[in-house]
Structure 1
C-alpha cells in the first residue's frame, strides 16, 4: 500500500473518530509478509507500531481541521501525519494561538513569514495550515528532504540552520524536533 493511500486512510479514520470524546487517538499500523498494511486504533499484537497520534482538543472542530490538514498536505506533498504533529506541537490545535514571540495561528507563523507566504489572516485555520504546510514544503526542498533540518528551520529559521550547518545548538529547537518526532510516530 502506498504511503499516500495509508495517509488517506489514516485521515479518514481520524475524521471518523472526530466526533468521539477522546483526548488522543493513536492509529497503529504494521505491514505483514505479503505487503498488506494493517491499520487499527487498537494495538491487538506486538507487531502494531504507532503511526501517529491524533490529539485534537474537543473544543476544536476535529473534522474541519483534519480536512484542512489533508488538503494542504496533499497539495504540497507533505506527510499529513507530520503536519498534524506540527500543528499539535505548535499550537495545541488552538486556532487563535499567539506565542510570546508573536507567531500566530495553528502552525504558529511569524508575521514576517506570513507576509512572505502571502498569508493575510493567520487566524483563518485553512489558510494558516495551507501556508504553514507550503512553507514546510519549501524547507524540505531547501534541506534536501531532511525532515529534522526542515523542522529545525521551521522553528529557528532557515538561516540559522544554514549558519550552523545542521540543527542549531538551541534547546528550544532541539526540544521542538523531539516533540514533533514523538507525535509523528516515524523516524526523522
Structure 2
C-alpha cells in the first residue's frame, strides 16, 4: 500500500478545510487505514504538510503585558511612516507594540523580523533590504498596512488578521479572521493596545 504522502490532492484539501489550523499529520494503522488529523494525536502520526503561510509565531502579550507608552524617538519614526503612507499612526504604534514589543531586533521562530515583524517575502515585496533597520521596517510595515486597508475596505479586524496570518488566509476563509489560535488572539490584543494608546493621547 502506498504511504499517505502519496496522496497530495487529499492532503491539500484537508489542509485547506481544517477548522483550526492547516498542518496535516497522518499515519497508516494496523488495518491499513489512512488516518489524517490537524494535530499529532497518535504517536505514529507524522507531519505530512505544513502551511508556511500561517501566523508568524510571535509571542502575543497578555493584557497585563501591553505597553503603556513607546519611546519618544520611536514614536517620531512611527508617526513619520504613518503620515507618509496615510495610515492611522495609532494602528502602526499598536502593531509595533504587539508584534515586537518595540524591539527592532526581534525575530520570531518563523523568521518574522524587526519592529513590525515582517516576514522575508513581505520585506522583499516592499523593498526592505534590512528589516532590522527601524526606519526601513516601519516604512515597509506602514505600506503593507496601507495596502491591506485598501484590500479589506478599511476593516481593521481583517487588516490585522491579514498582517498576522497573510492576506491569502483571510481571503481563503471567506474574508473572515482565520481560525488560527495565534491570529484569534492577535486581533483583539492589537485592538486593545490601540485603545490604550488612544486613551494616552487624550490624557
1:157-168 superposed matches below 5 A: 157-165=166-174, 166-168=176-178
Following TM superposition, the consecutive aligned residue runs of length 4 or more in structure 1 with deviations greater than 3 angstroms are: none
Does the alignment pair 1:98 with 2:112? no
- Paired residues in the alignment total 131
- How far residue 119 of structure 1 moved from its aligned partner, in angstroms, is 0.4
CA distance in 2, matches of 1:54, 1:134: 25
CA distance in 2, matches of 1:170, 1:185: 23
What is the CA deviation profile of residues 19-52 of structure 1, one whole-angstrom value per residue up to 9, with x for unaligned ones?
Answer: xxxxxxxxxxxxxxxxxxxxxxxxxxxxxxxxxx
The equivalent of 2:69 in structure 1 is 55
| Structure 2 stretches lacking a partner, 5+ long | 1-66, 197-203
- How far residue 54 of structure 1 moved from its aligned partner, in angstroms, is 4.3
- How far residue 96 of structure 1 moved from its aligned partner, in angstroms, is 0.3
Does the alignment pair 1:185 with 2:199? no
Q: TM-score, normalised by structure 1?
A: 0.66
Q: TM-score, normalised by structure 2?
A: 0.62
CA distance in 2, matches of 1:148, 1:141: 13
Aligned residue among 169, 173, 179 for 2:179: 169
Q: Which has the higher contact order (CA 8 A, sep 6+)?
A: 2
- How far residue 75 of structure 1 moved from its aligned partner, in angstroms, is 1.1
1:109-148 superposed matches below 5 A: 109-148=118-157
In angstroms, what is the RMSD of aligned CA positions? 1.8
| Structure 1 stretches lacking a partner, 5+ long | 1-52, 57-61
CA distance in 2, matches of 1:181, 1:156: 16
What is the CA deviation profile of residues 103-149 of structure 1, one whole-angstrom value per residue up to 9, with x for unaligned ones?
Answer: 00000000111111110000100110111011000001000111100
The equivalent of 1:152 in structure 2 is 161
The equivalent of 2:80 in structure 1 is 71
CA contact 1:156–1:173 (8 Å) conserved in 2: yes
